[in-house]
Amino acid sequence: MVAQFAHLRRFGAFILFSLLASGSLYAQNFDTASKSADADLKDALERLAALRAQIRTERVPLAKELNQLESDVIGLRREVERAQRVRDSQAIGLDALEGEVTRRRDEADYLESLLGEYLRAFESRADVAELPQYDDALLAAKLSMDNPDALQSAKLEALGGVVESALERARTQIGGAGYEGEAVLPDGSLGAGNFTQFGPLVLFSSESGLSGITEPSASLRPALVVFEGGDATAIGQLASQGAATIPVDVTLGDATAIAETRDSLVEQVGKGGLWIYPILAFALLATAVSIFKLFEIFGFKEPHPEVIHELLELIVDGHAGKALEKAEQIPGAFGDMLADAVRYHADDKELLEEVLYEHMLRLQPKLERFLPLIAVTAATSPLLGLLGTVTGMINTFNLITVFGTGDARSLSSGISEALITTEFGLIVAIPALIIHALLQRRSQGIIANMEKMAVAFQNGLPKRASIQEQQAKSGNS
């Protein structure tokens, strides 16, 4: 403990000595530093005064230079703004020019497409007879359109030539146009001659004397539809003299085409197939029977109803002989019936009635004979036509199996057979039905009139006793 205290005492004495030594040293350094600071301050003040004097000297020139530089900066900024505006305006003008170029290019493409469509329309609209006049313009336009390396300006120029040709064509056709050319004659050969065109109507007069209208054909030349008689002469006169009265087909060839498709009766029969022949056989038989029965029935003579009253008056007056002579003068079955009626007027009423009824029974089969054949024809012909229709449809389906449905011409035979047999069946059946009804009604009317006369004769006879008395008186006299 004592040792520690001694140690602390010595340590404290050391610290105290150190503090005293450092305080003495600090006092000396402070004086030195103070003097150095005063010198530095004085030097700094001198330099500050010199610097301020220099600044005062240089401030005016520098201010002038600064003002000049600021003025230059303002001018340069204005130049930059002006250059920027010029650049922007140039950029805007370039964009506008590019847009204008794009629009012009689109217009040129559209015009090329439109003229290409017009080229195709013109070629299809122009008559085949006048196309040789425009071969050069059409060929040049087609070649330019098909050439991928051709300039668009060259294509438009070639297409413009077609438009000019079309305008020239329109001008020349206002009052009609005439030109030379060739047409396919009916024998298949090419014939030279003169074309005369009025709008879509094209007439042709060949050097060989054939004249008519033209129509498109499978070749590159039009086909001639030959006219006969005065029409052909008028067309030739028009081609040679320029004036004539000519026929005009307002249907533009449709009427001629329809006329050419119409088959004759023989051609239709040939297309009708097997079952057309039974129909024709029934038609011939029914026609012959109808003609015969028409003459027979409508030529049947019927006496006037007043004849009955005249005969009865003669019988009542006792002149039976005169009544018989008068009855025998009446022609036909009515006369035979009335003659027998006069002969048997004095006999029993039942006998007289049987005699008259016998005449009616004898006449009725004569009137009605062959009429069932007409009725059978009227009933059978549609059935035969239906049978032909079924057969034709079967043939059509067989042709479809072989050729398919793409070729309509190959199917026409079966369809023709199906339709023609039905047509002929109805053509035969309808008149047969009408004629049968007419003849049947007429024959029944004749029988009814005969029956009416027979009843009138019987009812008009006097009683049997009166007749016998009259006969006795006539015998005594």
pLDDT along the chain (477 residues), means of 10: 53 60 56 75 82 78 80 84 78 74 80 78 70 73 77 76 75 70 78 75 76 70 74 72 71 68 72 84 92 87 82 81 80 80 80 84 86 91 87 76 65 71 90 93 88 84 53 48
Q: Are residues 350 and 460 in the same domain?
A: yes
Rounded to whole angstroms, how far apart are CA atoms 67 and 73? 10
Q: Are residues 421 and 340 in the same domain?
A: yes
Count Cβ atoms within 10 A of the Cβ of residue 422 and give its class: 0-12 exposed, 13-18 middle, 19 or more buried: buried
Q: Are residues 336 and 303 in the same domain?
A: yes
The number of domains in the chain is 2
Is 132 inside any structural domain?
no
According to the model, what pLDDT value does residue 392 have? 79
Task: Identify which of 437, 454, 446, 433 has the alpha carbon closest to the alpha carbon of residue 367.
Answer: 446
Q: Are residues 296 and 374 in the same domain?
A: yes
Is 117 inside any structural domain?
no
Q: Are residues 208 and 294 in the same domain?
A: no
pTM reported for the whole predicted model = 0.53
- For residue 285, the enclosing domain spans 276-476
- Domain end position, chosen among 262, 293, 322: 262
Is 248 inside any structural domain?
yes
Q: Are residues 444 and 348 in the same domain?
A: yes
Q: How far is C-alpha 152 from the geometric centre of its chain's CA atoms?
A: 38
- Domain end position, chosen among 208, 229, 262: 262
Is 72 inside any structural domain?
no
Q: Are residues 300 and 443 in the same domain?
A: yes
According to the model, what pLDDT value does residue 174 have? 67
According to the model, what pLDDT value does residue 19 have? 57
Q: In this structure, are residues 474 and 317 in contact, taking their beta carbons and an 8 Å threshold?
A: no
According to the model, what pLDDT value does residue 411 have? 62
Q: Are residues 295 and 195 in the same domain?
A: no
According to the model, what pLDDT value does residue 477 have? 47
Q: In this structure, are residues 177 and 201 in contact, taking their beta carbons and an 8 Å threshold?
A: no
According to the model, what pLDDT value does residue 224 have? 75
Rounded to whole angstroms, how far apart are CA atoms 431 and 284? 12
Count Cβ atoms within 10 A of the Cβ of residue 176 and give its class: 0-12 exposed, 13-18 middle, 19 or more buried: middle
- Domain end position, chosen among 234, 262, 290: 262
According to the model, what pLDDT value does residue 18 have? 61
